[in-house]
A and B are shown apart, each in its own frame.
Chain A
Amino acid sequence: MRKILLAATMTIVLAGCQSTPEADKPAGVEDRMGATTKPPSSATTQPVAPGSMSGNPLKDPSSILSKRTIYFDFDRDDIKVEFVPIVEAHGKYLRENRGAKMLVQGSADERGSREYNLALGQRRSEAIKKRLMILGVTEIQIESVSLGEEKPACVDHDEGCWYKNRRGDILYGGEF
């Protein structure tokens, strides 16, 4: 499931990368039609490097920053020890990139009222936000919201599945 989420995230990021040159396209097309040689601007499009060092750490599978999901226990919103390094890595990234914006989406399992589950998901996203702020991230960088039980990562009616749905998902600007 995490791989699928990651793949989806990467698709969004790549789509985000394409959108910038697209904005310049009309000019680029005119240039090509008017000149026999390609204008230098067309050479500025860069392929995304598959390697680890040169790429964006947010989408580098070997970077801890590619880990975007924090799981929670039933009826709990405390960040479990195994997820603390992930939150800390994102905190460091946000501190070092003050212009970066993050959306934290909290979720709950399907049991019970949709609106109450929305509030439980909110509690989880705010727990992640609070931890990031303790790490020195400014509040303006993070919006914490809830998806309640509405966007399950897994749809079976058992604990194995419910665990995957009690989560917080981290998205960066351009991904939401």
Chain B
Amino acid sequence: MQAVRAVVAALAIAGPAQAQLSIEITGGGANQIPIAIVPFAGETALQPGVTEVIEADLARSGRFRTLYTGPQNPPLNEATNVDLAGWRSRAADALVVGGVYPASGGRYEVRFRLYDVPKQVSLGGFAYTIAPAQARATAHRIADYIYEKLTGDRGVFSTRIAYVVKAGSRFQLQIADADGANPQTAIQSNEPIISPTWSPDGTRLAYVSFEAKKPVVYVHSLATGRRQAAASFRGSNSAPAWSPDSKQLAVALSRAGGTQLFLVTADGANLRRIMSSPSIDTEPHFSPDGQWIYFTSDRGGSPQIYRIATGGGGAERVTFSGDYNVSPRLSPDGRTLVFVTRDSGRFYVAAMDLATRQTQVLTDGGRDESPSFAPNGKMILYAADAGGRGVLAATSSDGRVKQRLSVPAADVREPAWGPYPAN
């Protein structure tokens, strides 16, 4: 929590908060868990109230259906002896009760308890002592707890996303909570910014900026707001990808002619070439175990995804169907490859099961690009087009649940979902 606060403070210096991303859910998942969240007692002391944030988080995941309960009489909280049999008749499979209580020094204690209604057992609870400004972050943590207890997967409600907003001729690299709240501008420029990517430790963003009238790769430290050119060689410098240990970047450089893959440390030292080819090699991406670098190459005549072992060896082709498969990204468990595929001149995000090589097209926008996995692998954030305007969209990894995130009167693009917060 302390780390998060430090980051927000530094970002606040960099620029004023921007128009917030608004989220619209455009699909629904199957087998949603019906959950009742009783409005937290005393939560009007906090802004926002925790109940609304928890409900929005769970609904957005597509894995829950929230049942409206309204205030209960007599009031229910985490200390109440709840009539679970009664809640069963109201079709709730899960019940959340809690309260917000004044604590010393202007702080508050937020307590909650989660129940499995059919089994009539408590699934535990938590108490947090917080400053009022931490209400939203605390609600995200409660949503993470509920999500993990009921689905078995870790929640991503406390994570953040980075993206680029183009408003007029101005480009802003912004960072917001995963629900679009608290947008902060890390850098703004009159020249384009593309390809932001989080260091796996969550402390830095690498990105490409054109402020020097050519692409240069920067590494930007979020806590300090300071940045450093990591690749600024003669020619073009682009497509940064972090190694899993956050120490190295794979980049695409044209310093030796063509567009070729290199490794460099995050501070720009120790440049090494990954391989030599007469083709375009770009969009490197490390597998989570660090054993492979996936990349896009046109060495076979059309752009396709290949991989090369980080320990050396030849490149191996991964995608075969269609004549345009680019932008490889691996799921956190390393089992699924998502990429952008072209079909009849339109672009979609597709997912390939690396074990079976079965591919499923997940999106239907036609101008979908830049996919990025949530750290739990359950959602994929990508850039899409809505009536000529750039928006962010997210799909569940099975393609069933869809969300759209947009900023009024601006283009939003180049999303990157950040890692779990370190705490």
Q: Does A116 contact B (CB under 8 A)?
A: yes
Report the minimum CB–CB distance from B325 to chain A (whole Å): 10
Q: Which of B192, B213, B296 is the most central at the interface, judged by chain A CB atoms within 10 Å of its CB?
A: B213
CA distance A126 to B257 in the complex (A): 8
Complex contact A113–B327 (CB within 8 A): yes
Q: Mark B221-236, 1 if CB is under 8 A from A, else 0.
A: 0000000000000111
Contact of B213 (CB < 8 Å), options: A105, A114, A119: A105
Complex contact A116–B215 (CB within 8 A): no
Known: A118-B215, A122-B259, A126-B254. A112 touches B347 (CB 8 A): yes
Report the minimum CB–CB distance from A147 to chain B (whole Å): 7
Complex contact B236–A114 (CB within 8 A): no
Q: Does A151 contact B (CB under 8 A)?
A: yes
Complex contact A145–B252 (CB within 8 A): no
Q: Does B125 contact A (CB under 8 A)?
A: no
Complex contact A112–B324 (CB within 8 A): yes
Q: Does A146 contact B (CB under 8 A)?
A: yes
Contacts of A147 in B (CB 8 A): 192, 210, 214-215
CA distance A114 to B239 in the complex (A): 9
Report the minimum CB–CB distance from A175 to chain B (whole Å): 9
Complex contact B369–A113 (CB within 8 A): yes
CA distance A146 to B235 in the complex (A): 8
Q: Does A103 contact B (CB under 8 A)?
A: yes
Q: Does A168 contact B (CB under 8 A)?
A: no
Complex contact A122–B235 (CB within 8 A): yes
Give the residues from 150 to 166 in chain A that come closer than 8 angstroms, CB to CB, to chain B.
150-151, 157
Q: Does B258 contact A (CB under 8 A)?
A: yes
Complex contact B239–A115 (CB within 8 A): yes
Report the minimum CB–CB distance from B276 to chain A (whole Å): 15
Complex contact B280–A146 (CB within 8 A): no
Q: Does B374 contact A (CB under 8 A)?
A: no
Known: A114-B195, A114-B414, A143-B235. A148 touches B258 (CB 8 A): no
Contacts of A113 in B (CB 8 A): 283, 296, 303, 326-327, 340, 369-370
CA distance A132 to B259 in the complex (A): 20
Q: Which of A111, A113, A171 is the most central at the interface, judged by chain B CB atoms within 10 Å of its CB?
A: A113
Complex contact A118–B236 (CB within 8 A): yes
Report the minimum CB–CB distance from B337 to chain A (whole Å): 15
Report the minimum CB–CB distance from B229 to chain A (whole Å): 15
Q: Does A94 contact B (CB under 8 A)?
A: no
Complex contact A151–B210 (CB within 8 A): yes
Contacts of B215 in A (CB 8 A): 118, 145-148
Q: Does A123 contact B (CB under 8 A)?
A: yes
CA distance A116 to B303 in the complex (A): 8
Given contacts A103-B214, A105-B214, A112-B342, 19 further A-B contacts (CB under 8 A): A112-B326, A112-B340, A112-B347, A112-B369, A113-B296, A113-B303, A114-B194, A114-B369, A115-B239, A115-B326, A116-B303, A116-B326, A118-B215, A118-B259, A122-B259, A143-B214, A145-B213, A147-B215, A157-B388
Instruction: State the 7 A-B residue pairs at the shortest beta-carbon distance, nearest first.
Output: A145-B214, A150-B192, A119-B259, A119-B280, A113-B326, A176-B213, A115-B239
Q: Which residues from chain B sit less than 8 Å from chain A, CB to CB?
A: 192, 194-195, 210, 213-215, 234-236, 238-239, 252, 254, 257-259, 280, 282-283, 296, 303, 324, 326-327, 340, 342, 345, 347, 369-370, 388, 414
